[in-house]
A and B are shown apart, each in its own frame.
Chain A
Amino acid sequence: MFMDEINQLRRMGFRAILLQALNLATIIAGGLMGWKALCLATNSESPIVVVLSESMEPAFARGDILFLTNFASDSYEIGDIPVYKIPGANIPIVHRIIHSHTSTVTHPNGTTTETQLMLTKGDNNPTDDLGLYHSYMRGMKWLKRDMVVGKVRGFLPHVGYVTIVMNDYPQLKYALLGTLGVFLLFNKEQ
């Protein structure tokens, strides 16, 4: 089975192999560039996230994909669903806002700064997130804007399960990436 491939490699010659490697690198770089462009366009550090928990059932189930934006002009109101990351917590949380308190301070030079304090709750949780805040950060009473990664704008069901499975079984991930790489390397334009 592999003899064919090795023979093929021999026949291709050095330049052709380099060209294929370049193709592979272009695809990887293209993907990275696309992701970074999306980060810039949405102003969010991770504009696409996969739901991992059941805390927002039945709105979002495990494996659903969410699309986020985090523009400075985005206002967060009751009912909106932010994704937030508390310093010290390893995974971001997606829950719904149930309290909001905004105070506006006008400075002597005429500019104003707004501070918004929010409280969130998972639709499927019996209580709000105050205990969750405490467990990650002592003394944290409110969710503030600087911990928000983005606001949920779009929804695509189930597709994210692929990444969950790959994270649960890393061998599968490497096997898949390996095969993909090999195929790209040997794929000749006919």
Chain B
Amino acid sequence: MFSAWQRLQNTSSWALSVCLTLLAVISVSSWYVLPTVPLGSIGLKSFQVVPGSGSQSNLEYALMRLDVQSDLTPLFANWNTKQLYVSVVADWNSTVEGTQSSVVLWDRIITRKRPEAAKLRIEGLKAKNVWKVRRGGFKTIPSCHLSLKYDIMPYVGIVTPGIGARARNPTWNVTTETATNSFGEWDIAVPGVKSGGVGS
């Protein structure tokens, strides 16, 4: 009554629907029990503005050292976390250009739950992507937010973002004093750190 072909067809369609249902249940359920992490901290250790040279002489760079602490292990308690994309992001508004900007200063991909991988405790972190604005641009940035963001990549399902740490004092202020402290030709200014407005 049933041919081999029909048996094969029935079995494969049953297997397919079981797989699809299972995947749907995994992605939806893991989204409902999405873990959160205790907010860690970012401290600004040093901050320097240096002018670019050569073809980049119309730009200036920010060189900085950061202390980053954040425990991201709870995110791996979820059964559907394949990896984390973790990035230290600087967000600022420029008063002159009227723009809202965000730049990734540093990033890392974490694929393991082990504390040495998922528990960040980095001192003197150096930016991977140099933060650069046009010459004189840092003077027009009154404040900047530093935060550690994560994006959860699932095994299957929905991609979810989150925040793992913020700067302890989330804004740094370029005081008038440091702003007039001239970002001159080869000067190096350390805004904020002098006036104690940064980090701690």
Contact = CB atoms under 8 A, between A and B. Distances in A.
Interface of A: 58-59, 77-81, 96, 98-104, 123, 128, 152-157
Interface string B144-157: 00000111011111
Given A79-B149, A79-B161, A101 B83 contact: no
A157 B26 CA distance: 13
Given A78-B87, A123-B85, A99 B159 contact: no
Nearest to B160: A153
A77 B151 CA distance: 11
Contact of B104 (A81, A98, A102, A155): A98
Given A58-B111, A59-B83, A154-B27, A101 B99 contact: yes
B173 to A, nearest CB: 21
B21 interface: no
Mostly, the A contact residues are strand
In the A-B complex, the 8 residue pairs with the smallest Cβ-Cβ separation, listed nearest first, are: A98-B104, A103-B99, A102-B100, A101-B101, A59-B153, A79-B151, A78-B102, A100-B102
B98 A103 contact: yes
The interface centre, meaning the residue of A104, A128, A155 with most chain B CB atoms within 10 A of its CB, is A155
A79 B85 contact: yes
Contacts of A152: 159
Interface residues of B, number: 30
A77 B161 contact: yes
Contacts of A102: 99-101
Contact of A101 (B100, B153, B157): B100
B89 interface: yes
Interface of B: 23, 27, 82-83, 85, 87, 89, 97-104, 107, 109, 111, 129, 149-151, 153-159, 161
A98 B129 contact: yes
Contacts of B151: 79-80
A88 to B, nearest CB: 26
B168 to A, nearest CB: 21
A152 B153 CA distance: 11
B156 A79 contact: no
Contact of B156 (A128, A153, A157): A157
The interface centre, meaning the residue of A58, A59, A77 with most chain B CB atoms within 10 A of its CB, is A59
13 contacts: A58-B83, A59-B82, A77-B102, A78-B87, A78-B89, A78-B103, A80-B161, A100-B103, A103-B98, A103-B100, A104-B100, A152-B159, A154-B158
Nearest to A118: B102
A17 B117 CA distance: 64
A154 B157 contact: yes
B149 A100 contact: no
Given A58-B109, A78-B89, A99 B104 contact: yes
Contacts of B85: 59, 79, 96, 123
Contacts of A96: 85
Given A78-B149, A103-B98, A103-B99, A155 B157 contact: yes
A155 B153 contact: yes
A100 to B, nearest CB: 5
B89 A123 contact: no
Given A99-B104, A103-B98, 9 more contacts: A58-B109, A59-B109, A59-B153, A78-B103, A78-B149, A99-B103, A101-B99, A128-B129, A155-B157
